[in-house]
Structure 1
Amino acid sequence: MVSKVVFGRGSFNQLSEILAPKRLSMNAPFIYIIDDVFKNNQWLTSRIPLAYDDKILFISTEEEPKTSQVDAIVEDIILTTKELPSGIIGIGGGSVLDLAKAVSIMLTNEGEAKDYQGWDLVKHPAIYHVGIPTISGTGAEVSRTTVLIGPEKKLGINSDFTPFDQVILDSELTKDVPKNQWFYTGMDCYIHCIESLKGTYLNTFSETYGNMSLELCKEIFLDNNLTAEESEEKLMMASWHGGMSIAYSQVGVAHAMSYALAYVLGVKHGIGNCIVFDHLEEFYPEGVKLFKAMKEKHNIMLPQGICADLSDADFDKMTTIALNLVPLWENALGKNWKQIITPKKLKELYQKM
C-alpha cells in the first residue's frame, strides 16, 4: 500500500517540503515525468520545485505506455545523471503514473521492462517515487501494478515494490480535464468496482472499498446537485477506493478484453473499457444497465465498428492476448472459466464492437 498520502485542493503546493528530506545529494536529481499536455501550462509547471540537476521529462500520452518507452527513459536518466536519482515524480494520468512507477523499478533492476511483466518478478526495491494524478479514475495512483504494452502482450509489472511511496491528491489539478476524457476515465473507476464486487476473488477488504467507490460513482455521474469542486474531489476519492478494491481482488472481463484492444488497435485504456463494457450484459447485467444510463445522461457517443476491418489473424491475436490473462477470467467467471468463455465466443464479442 502507499505509505504516505496528502489530500486536498492546493496540496500540490506542498511538493517542495515533501521532497526536500528525500534529496540524497546535490548530484542526485529528482526526475519529473509529466504529461506533455502541461508543457505550456505555467499554472502547474511554475510550481514545480526544481533545484540542482533536477529535470522535467514531458511525455506524450497519445499512445499507451510501452516497455520500450520505459527502457528509453531509464537509459536517458542513467546517461545524463551523475548519481542515481533521489526520486521519480509522476504528474499526469494513468499512463504517466504507470511510466513513473516502471522507471523507478527499472533504475534498480537489471534487464528490460518486458522481463518484469507479470506477478512478483521484481527483485529489488524501486527508488523513491511520488504519484500526482491530474485526472481521476484509473487507480494507478494506488495500485501495485504498472500496465505496459510489451513486444508480446499488454500486462502490468505487478509487485510489492510498484506502489508509490508518496501520493498527492489535489483535485484542483483535474479541473481542466475534457468532458469525454473525464467520462472515460471515470468509467474505468466504475468498471473497477463492478468487476471487483462481482468477482470470485471478492473479500471483505475489497468489498468495503469497492462499495464506497461505487456509491461515489453513482453520485458523481447520476446526481445533478454536485458542484464542480465536489465532483472533482469525490471522483478523486472514488478512484482511490476503486484502486484499493482491485488491489485486494482483481478486475474481470472488460479489462481482459480491452487490454487486447489496446495491443492490436492502440485503443486507449479508458475508452477501450467503455467500448467493451457496453457489450457485457451477459456478465454484468446490472452494471451495464447503469453504465448505459450514465452514458445517456452525459450524452456520450462511443466509437462504433472499431473491429469491422480486422482480419482473422487480428481477431486470433486479440483472443489469445485476452485469454492469457488468467487471473482476470478466474475472478470474473470462477475456476471453470474456460468452459464459459471460448476463443469462438470471445471473437463473437469483439465482432460486435
Structure 2
Amino acid sequence: MKFRNFKMVDYVVYGRGSFNQLDEILQPQRNNDAPIVFLVDHYFQGKDLVNRVPVRGNDKIIFADVTYEPKTTYVDSIADQLKDEFGMVSGIVGIGGGSTMDLAKAVSLMMNNPGSSADYQGWDLVKHPGIYKAGIPTLSGTGAEVSRTTVLTGPTRKLGMNSDFTPFNQIVLDPELTRNAPVNQRFYTGMDCYIHCIESLTGTYLNEFSKAYGEKALELCRKVFLEKESWDDECDDMLMMASYAGGMSIAYSQVGVAHAVSYGLSYLLGTKHGIGNCIVMNHIEEYYPEGVAEFKRMVEKNGIDIPQGICKGLSEEQFDTMINVALGMKPLWENALGQDWEKIMTREKLRELYGKL
C-alpha cells in the first residue's frame, strides 16, 4: 500500500486579534518593490476591516467579486492583470470566505504556471510552486484555509486545482473577523464543515488520522448548532477551529455524496457551495440516515429555511449536465459508496435525486 504524503499549511497563527499581526507576518515576504496584493471579499468594501489591511508602498487591494464561486476565467484575468501591471508581486493574501481563499490560492499558482487555470483542474497537474500566499478566513466552515485544492468552475467542469503546491504558506485564524457574519451565511458555511465530517467519518477512506480531526470538528459543530442557546464569541471561536479540524479530516480521506451532487448544482445554477450542500443534505437520508436527521435538527433549532425546488423546470439536457459534473467526482463517490459505486449511483438514480432538490 502506498501512503499519501500530503502537504500542509506552513504557518498557522490563531487567536482573537491575531489579524493585527499581519503586517509583521508579511514583512519578511516583501521582495524589494514588488507589492503584496490583498484579495478581499467584496462584502467588506467600505467596511472597517479594509482600513485595517496593512497596505505598504505600492501594495494593491482587489475586491473579489464572489457573488458566484470563482471561475477559471476570473482567476486568469486577475493573474494577467497583475503580471501586466507589476510583472511580479511578493505575495497574495486572501481575506474572506472559502471562495475568496480559493481565488487567492489559484491566482498565486497562476502567477508561476503557464496557460489557463482550467488546464490544472484535476489532481497533481500543477508543475510549479505559486508565489507566497496567505489565507485569512472571515467565515468558518469551508476548510479552504487548510485544503490542497481550490474549487473552480471551468469551461467544462467544476473541479479544483488539487496539488501539493496549493496549500497556503500562512493562515491567520482570528475569530473576531467572523463576528458580524450574516446569520444564514454563517449557518450554511458552518454546515459545510458539519457535512465534511459526516461524509469523512462514514466513508470507506476513513482512517485514524481523519477520524481524530473529524470527530473533534463534529463535536464542536454540535456544541455550536445544537447545544448553545444563543450565538456568542465562544461560538465563533469553536466554529473556526471546527473548520480547521474538518479541513484536516478530509485531507487524508474525502467528502462524499452531498459534495458530489452539490458540484452539479453549482456548475449549472451557480448555487453557492455551502447552501448547495444543505439543499442536497436535506434529501440523502438513504446514505447518511443519522447525519441527515441531526442536520435537520440543526436547521430547525437555528430557524433556517433551506431552499426547495431549485431544479424545478430544468430541461433534461440541463439535468444531464449536472449529472455529468457530479459523476466526474470519482474519489468522492468511491469514499461514499465503495469501489462498486457506479453500480449503486447510476445516472437514473442521480436524475431522481436532482429531481427532488
Query: Which amino acid is 1:4 matched to?
Result: Y
Q: How does 1:26-41 map to 2 (within 5 A)?
A: 26=33, 28-41=34-47
Report the Cα offset of residue 198 of structure 1: 0.6
Q: For residues 227-270 of structure 1, what are the alpha-carbon distances to aligned partners after superposition, in whole Å with 9 as ceiling and x for unaligned? A: 61100000000000000001110010000000000011111100
Residue of 6, 9, 23 corresponding to 2:16: 9
Match of 1:239 in 2: 243
User: Is it true that 1:349 corresponds to 2:348 in the alignment?
Assistant: no
Query: Which amino acid is 1:155 matched to?
Result: L
Distance in 1 (alpha carbons) for counterparts of 2:193 and 2:275? 12
TM-score (norm 2): 0.97
* Paired residue secondary structure (2:135): strand
Q: For residues 68-93 of structure 1, what are the alpha-carbon distances to aligned partners after superposition, in whole Å with 9 as ceiling and x for unaligned? A: 00000001000111x41110000000
TM-score (norm 1): 0.98
Distance in 1 (alpha carbons) for counterparts of 2:197 and 2:160? 19
Match of 2:205 in 1: 201
Distance in 1 (alpha carbons) for counterparts of 2:351 and 2:304? 26
Match of 1:52 in 2: 57
Distance in 2 (alpha carbons) for counterparts of 1:241 and 1:308? 36
Query: Which amino acid is 2:74 matched to?
Result: Q
Report the Cα offset of residue 46 of structure 1: 1.4
Match of 1:149 in 2: 153
Unaligned runs of 5+ in 2: 1-7
Report the Cα offset of residue 56 of structure 1: 0.3
Distance in 2 (alpha carbons) for counterparts of 1:124 and 1:265? 33
Q: How does 1:1-353 map to 2 (within 5 A)?
A: 1-26=8-33, 28-41=34-47, 43-81=48-86, 83-224=87-228, 228-353=232-357
Query: Which amino acid is 2:46 matched to?
Result: N
Query: Which amino acid is 1:267 matched to?
Result: T
Report the Cα offset of residue 224 of structure 1: 2.5
RMSD over aligned CA atoms reads 0.8
Distance in 1 (alpha carbons) for counterparts of 2:20 and 2:119? 37
Distance in 2 (alpha carbons) for counterparts of 1:325 and 1:300? 29
Q: For residues 332-352 of structure 1, what are the alpha-carbon distances to aligned partners after superposition, in whole Å with 9 as ceiling and x for unaligned? A: 000000111100000000101
Unaligned runs of 5+ in 1: none
Query: Which amino acid is 1:263 matched to?
Result: Y
Distance in 1 (alpha carbons) for counterparts of 2:260 and 2:54? 39
Percentage identity across paired residues of the two chains: 61
Could you list the structure 1 runs, at least 4 aligned residues long, displaced by more than 6 angstroms after superposition. none
Distance in 2 (alpha carbons) for counterparts of 1:29 and 1:134? 23
Q: For residues 13-63 of structure 1, what are the alpha-carbon distances to aligned partners after superposition, in whole Å with 9 as ceiling and x for unaligned? A: 00000000110112x10000000111101x211111111110000012111
Q: 1:58 to 1:234 in 2, by over 3 A?
A: same
Distance in 2 (alpha carbons) for counterparts of 1:304 and 1:213? 28
Report the Cα offset of residue 223 of structure 1: 1.0
* Paired residue secondary structure (1:304): coil
Query: Which amino acid is 2:54 matched to?
Result: P
Distance in 1 (alpha carbons) for counterparts of 2:66 and 2:84? 24
Query: Which amino acid is 1:34 matched to?
Result: V
* Paired residue secondary structure (2:222): helix
* Paired residue secondary structure (1:57): strand
Distance in 2 (alpha carbons) for counterparts of 1:48 and 1:265? 34
Query: Which amino acid is 1:18 matched to?
Result: I
Q: For residues 147-177 of structure 1, what are the alpha-carbon distances to aligned partners after superposition, in whole Å with 9 as ceiling and x for unaligned? A: 0000000000000000000000000000111
Distance in 2 (alpha carbons) for counterparts of 1:219 and 1:317? 38
